[in-house]
Amino acid sequence: MIENSHISFREMRKDDLDSVLVIDRLSFPLPWPESAYRHDLTNNSTAILWVAEVLSEDQDSKVVGMVDVWLIQEEAHIATLAVHPDYRGNGIAADLLSKVLFEAYKLGAQRAMLEVRESNLAARTLYEELGFVTVSRRRRYYRDNNEDALLMNLDNLQVLIDEDVELQKGSKDFLS
Ligand SMILES: CC(C)(COP(=O)(O)OP(=O)(O)OC[C@H]1O[C@@H](n2cnc3c(N)ncnc32)[C@H](O)[C@@H]1OP(=O)(O)O)[C@@H](O)C(=O)NCCC(=O)NCCS
């Protein structure tokens, strides 16, 4: 278990790409090419890319999670999200996603949406816990195994933001 105090979240930089590609390849049957991340970092003004970083006791830092959200008008589309297998189950994805959705909200997003493999119970549970609901299905969406995608929406981003602010206020009170 990783102590939360050792994890921080920040915008992705070009020098994170090697770590991001490792996580991507360990996480997805259809990994993204480096050019896709590079494009979003440098040429896609709608893309919001963040990473989760673990700081070890000797102050070494390691990128262990990443997310890419496309802000299309008032909709935040979660394009990709993954945590390194060695660091899963520590709440990193939930925190990373909450933080990036807050950024999207500050930039004008009112709603969020994503596609997820039907068999991906870990991700579906994560999204449901954040308030996403399944609204439709895209049949045979994934070309590696023809699996269906479920389309999940979070219709009112404000609710998640309010809850997150309450949680952060609570932990501040606890620490002080
Ligand atoms: C899905 C993924 C991002 C979750 O990352 P994570 O950091 O381990 O998730 P968290 O620890 O923040 O989990 C938050 C909640 O999600 C749910 N969850 C996470 N992993 C789960 C699992 N293996 N089984 C069931 N529920 C799970 C739980 O409800 C969990 O809350 P809890 O810890 O209070 O029970 C990670 O498993 C991953 O990178 N998978 C491969 C890539 C992927 O599928 N990305 C999503 C594409 S749509």
From first to last of its 176 residues, the chain has per-residue pLDDT tens of 465 558 999 999 999 999 999 999 999 999 999 999 999 999 999 999 999 999 887 788 999 999 999 999 999 999 999 999 999 999 999 999 999 999 999 999 999 999 999 999 999 999 999 999 999 999 999 999 999 999 999 999 988 888 876 656 654 433 32
Domain holding 171, by residue range, is 4-175
Which residue is closest in CA terms to ligand 1's atom 16?
Answer: 126
**Contact residues for 21 (Cβ-Cβ < 8 A; gap 6+):** 31, 34, 37
Cα(127) to ligand 1 centroid in Å equals 9
Strands (DSSP E) contained in the chain are 7-11, 47-55, 61-72, 75-83, 111-117, 133-138, 149-154
What is the pLDDT, as a whole number, of residue 173?
Answer: 39
Collapsed DSSP state (helix, strand, coil) of residue 158? helix
What is the pLDDT, as a whole number, of residue 175?
Answer: 32
The residue to mutate among 1, 98, 116, 126, having the most atoms of ligand 1 within 8 angstroms of its beta carbon, is 126
Cα(89) to ligand 1 centroid in Å equals 6
Backbone angles phi, psi at 11, to 5 degrees: -65, 145
Backbone angles phi, psi at 147, to 5 degrees: -70, 150
Domain count, the chain: 1
**Ligand 1 atom with the shortest distance to the CA of 114:** 48
Q: How many CA atoms lie within 13 A of 78 on its CB side?
A: 28
pTM of the model: 0.93
Collapsed DSSP state (helix, strand, coil) of residue 151? strand
Cα(167) to ligand 1 centroid in Å equals 19
Question: Tell me, what CATH number does 134's domain have?
Answer: 3.40.630.30
